[in-house]
Amino acid sequence: MEKKVAVLPGDGIGPEVTEAAVKVLEVIARRFSHTFHVEYGVIGGVAIDKHQNPLPDETVALCEASDAVLLGAVGGPKWDQNPSALRPEKGLLAIRKHFDLFANLRPVKAVPSLLHASPLKEEVAKDVDMMIVRELTGGLYFGEPSRRTADAAVDSLVYTREEIERIVVKAFEIARLRRGKVASVDKANVLETSKLWREVVEEKKKAYPDIEVEHMLVDSTAMKLITNPAAFDVVVTENMFGDILSDEASVITGSLGVLPSASIRSDGFGLYEPVHGSAPEIAGLGLANPAAAILSVAMMLKYSFNLDTEASAIEEAVNTVFEDGFFTADLVEPGKRVLSTKEWTDKVIDEL
Ligand code: NAI
Ligand code: MG
């Protein structure tokens, strides 16, 4: 297989973790005889410094000419006081919107050797293996009108039937590749958009008789994520509920540094990035955990290139390195010997 991958390292630890992830991609290419053409572009703070634009046209053009995008992270104190158009996060929102990446996939899976870092009891966290499917380009964050006056403000929660259909179908398709269970999360006892959401789920599920569907209210979902997170397989929900629930779910595994994500559309094109931010306070020190970026490459192989075997090879290598007791600084108690970003990446590469 021959594919073109755009890499946008971004700010803070972004360059270190994407460097690690690209190395792993290169190893996969050699082992499985693929060719991945990697080209680099700027986004976020570095792009503001160079082009006064968090998502310059040349970056958009690079991504348009690619089959998938790997992104590090954006942001940092250097740009925190900038006016809103020149904020690094604007680059992220803009790229998701430009490429119509409507489905945000966030897997949360317990790693046995990391359970000590989970805030939940080991027996509650140990069997967690879920996929949160969040609608990413509609809802409250994009609805019009959105404005304020001195003493009032309005945001609009808007969803069309078509927007709901495509995300719900995506969730059903993903459930088919997993345990066949979908929890559709809404607030149908209060919101009109949620009533339409439920209607669409009921209609679309007819084509998926093999999938078990449950409607859940967002408030009770928030509780169950803590009391019985292992009960979830696929969770599908609208933009804001998904934003909150996916962050809640992300702490279950005990480390932000191990969680990947994908933002995709229907034709296979996707943007892959770690869930964590740019961690400016540890940037350049070799302390960053590259696992989330490396696992983001595994998601790219699976969801954009249909290379399931290659994706699993990466996941298994990462798990083995953890099980062998090798950790980066974020995952061990102070005083213990830890591996640097590069040393830990080399362990994964040896494993592959
Ligand atoms: P953060 O995720 O960068 O850091 C939170 C904590 O986790 C920090 O203690 C950090 O050192 C640690 N951490 C995060 N990733 C790690 C890794 N791979 N290895 C080891 N430790 C890691 O979130 P924070 O501190 O709220 O934001 C820092 C900057 O990142 C801000 O400018 C923020 O706007 C930006 N940000 C960017 C995101 C993105 O690009 N998608 C997402 C979240 C924040
Ligand atoms: Mg969030």
The phi, psi pair for 66, rounded to 5°, reads: -110, 165
- How big is the CA angle at 13 (ends 48 and 20), to the nearest 5 degrees? 120
Q: Report which bound ligand comes closest to the CA of 245.
A: 2
Render pLDDT for 30-58 as a digit per residue (tens, 0 to 9): 999 999 999 999 999 999 999 999 999 99
**Residue 84 assigned as binding residue:** yes
Ligand 1 pocket, residues with Cβ under 6 angstroms: 13, 17, 73-76, 89, 92, 256-257, 273, 276-282, 288-289, 292, 330
Residue 248 Cα to ligand 2 middle (Å): 9
Q: How confident is the model at residue 343 (pLDDT cuts 50, 70, 90)?
A: very high
Q: What is the pLDDT of residue 84?
A: 85
Render pLDDT for 149-186 as a digit per residue (tens, 0 to 9): 999 999 999 999 999 999 999 999 999 999 999 999 99
Ligand 1 atom with least separation from CA of 71: 40
The strand pairing partners of 215, in sequence order, are: 184
Q: Pick the residue with more confidence: 113 or 301? A: 301
- pTM for the structure as a whole: 0.94
**Residue 170 assigned as binding residue:** no
Ligand 1 atom with least separation from CA of 76: 32
Q: How confident is the model at residue 253 (pLDDT cuts 50, 70, 90)?
A: confident
Residue 278 Cα to ligand 1 middle (Å): 5
Q: How confident is the model at residue 256 (pLDDT cuts 50, 70, 90)?
A: confident
Following DSSP, what letter does each residue of 139-171 receive, concatenated?
Answer: GGGTEEEEEE-SS-EEEE----HHHHHHHHHHH
Q: Report which bound ligand comes closest to the CA of 74.
A: 1
Question: Helices 308-323 and 14-32, interaxial angle, to 10°?
Answer: 120
Residue 140 Cα to ligand 2 middle (Å): 14
The strand pairing partners of 105, in sequence order, are: 133, 262
Q: What is the pLDDT of residue 335?
A: 62
Question: Helices 57-64 and 88-98, interaxial angle, to 10°?
Answer: 40
CB atoms within 10 A of CB 53: 18
Residue 337 has pLDDT above 80, yes or no: no
Closest protein CA for atom 25 of ligand 1 = 279
Render pLDDT for 98-138 as a digit per residue (tens, 0 to 9): 999 999 999 999 988 888 889 999 999 999 999 999 999 99
Render pLDDT for 16-25 as a digit per residue (tens, 0 to 9): 999 999 999 9
Q: What is the pLDDT of residue 336?
A: 65
* 128 contact partners, CB below 8 Å, separation of at least 6: 108, 109, 110, 229, 230, 232, 252, 253
Q: What is the pLDDT of residue 189?
A: 96
Following DSSP, what letter does each residue of 235-253 receive, concatenated?
Answer: EEE-HHHHHHHHHHHHTTT
Closest CA to 108 of 220, 236, 253: 253
**Spatial distance between the Cα atoms of 344 and 204, rounded to a whole number of angstroms:** 44
Residue 89 Cα to ligand 2 middle (Å): 12
Average pLDDT over residues 185-191: 98
**Spatial distance between the Cα atoms of 7 and 70, rounded to a whole number of angstroms:** 5
Ligand 1 test: best mutation among 89, 243, 278, most atoms within 8 Å of CB? 278
Instruction: Please report where in the chains the tokens 């925190």 appear, as a residue.
Output: 80
Render pLDDT for 196-250 as a digit per residue (tens, 0 to 9): 999 999 999 999 999 999 999 999 999 999 999 999 999 999 999 999 999 999 9
Render pLDDT for 64-102 as a digit per residue (tens, 0 to 9): 999 999 999 999 999 999 998 899 999 998 999 899 999
Q: What is the pLDDT of residue 333?
A: 66
**Residue 151 assigned as binding residue:** no
ipTM attached to this prediction: 0.98
Ligand 1 atom with least separation from CA of 13: 18
Give the tokens for residue 290.
Answer: 């590259």
Residue 293 Cα to ligand 1 middle (Å): 13
* 116 contact partners, CB below 8 Å, separation of at least 6: 122, 254
Domains of the chain, earliest start first: 1-104+256-352 (3.40.718.10), 129-251 (3.40.50.2300)
Render pLDDT for 96-108 as a digit per residue (tens, 0 to 9): 989 999 999 999 9
Cα 327 → chain centroid: 22
Instruction: Please list the active-site residues.
Output: 141, 187, 219, 243, 247
Q: How confident is the model at residue 334 (pLDDT cuts 50, 70, 90)?
A: low
